Amino acid sequence: MGKVYDALRRAESQRSERRAPPAGFPTPMEPLAAPPGPAADDHRAGQPAREQRGRFARLLRTLRRDPAETTRDDAGAINKRRIALLQPDSFVAEQFRTLRARLDSLAAERPIRTIAITSALPGEGKTTASINLALVSAMAVGRRVLLVDCDLRRPKVHSALGLRPELGLAEVLMDQATAERAICKVEGSALEVLPVRGTPSNPAELLASPRMRSLVEELARGYDQVIFDTPPTLSLPDAKVVSELVDGVVLVVRADQTPEDDVQATLDVLDRRRLLGVVLNGAETDTQRYGY
């Protein structure tokens, strides 16, 4: 449990660093600034215990802040999240087709209709993976695919896909709307989306409710594949809750950024038996190979 506790502390720290970034601050898909040098590390190590406790208290408040305070993503970050729609013949889109094919091969061995996609920490590309995998899966002939935004705190799927939902997952879970009324269609694609419209005060409880379980079962009967974009695993309980309702989980890890201890802690939190595989995001690749 020590590793998990340390990982949770790091997750809270990263969430704090990402709140209300100033203009020009790098997006999660862009390189971050280099870590502080030894001098800065030494300074932090010498902080009084009282100051350290105060910093930790601020991190906890960050977790509870209003999602409306988050800054809007710039157009570049939004476009990167839907590259399979904007550039269906690109190298990146082909990588998601490869991921789709590998998941299909696993589905041939056992039923896999519902898939949760998560990461250890924020900013590792799980929403990008969710959206693009859903887009390329919806390109398959005769396949009905639904993308469900399960981030009831900081949803991004609707903005990335240019949707203006009037209803969403929270309203469905609170029995204020049916799933059929809340589901939107993405223009220029066969993909359907159950977005987030309202951000409730009790997201973890809604995701753990019997209504959520019945909703997952309902969607699995109506679609060939349902992809759930969940919050980071180490920051919140939401991903753990959703992972126990689906057929499999895909973990997104960012190259040269996600600490190995955090990956191990994430695997400890999730049910390893449901893990379908790991996606390495942000790795250097040779795009000059044949066909690209």
Strands (E), the chain: 114-119, 145-149, 184-185, 192-194, 225-229, 248-254, 275-281
Strands 184-185 and 192-194: antiparallel
Residue 270 to residue 274: CA distance in whole angstroms: 8
The per-residue pLDDT for range 200-216, each reduced to its tens digit, is: 999 999 999 999 999 99
| 292 lies in some domain | no
| 291 lies in some domain | no
Number of domains in the chain: 2
| 270 lies in some domain | yes
Residue 11 to residue 120: CA distance in whole angstroms: 8
Q: Which residues contact 179 (CB under 8 A, 6 or more apart)?
A: 172, 194, 215, 218, 219
Alpha helices (H) along 23-162: 38-45, 49-63, 75-81, 83-86, 91-107, 126-138, 157-160
Same domain, 86 and 54: no
Average pLDDT over residues 138-160: 93
Identify the pLDDT of residue 28.
Answer: 34
Half-sphere exposure of 273 (CA within 13 A, CB side): 3
Same domain, 161 and 225: yes
The per-residue pLDDT for range 160-198, each reduced to its tens digit, is: 898 999 999 999 999 999 999 999 999 888 999 999 999
Closest CA to 237 of 69, 63, 71, 115: 63
Identify the pLDDT of residue 261.
Answer: 93
pTM (two decimals): 0.71
Same domain, 145 and 190: yes
Range of the domain at 50: 9-27+35-69
The residue written with tokens 């870590």 in the block is 35
| Per-residue pLDDT at 29 exceeds 60 | no
Tell me if 148 sits within 8 A of 219, measured CB to CB.
yes
Same domain, 199 and 245: yes
CB atoms closer than 10 angstroms to residue 80:
20
The per-residue pLDDT for range 238-261, each reduced to its tens digit, is: 999 999 999 999 999 998 889 999
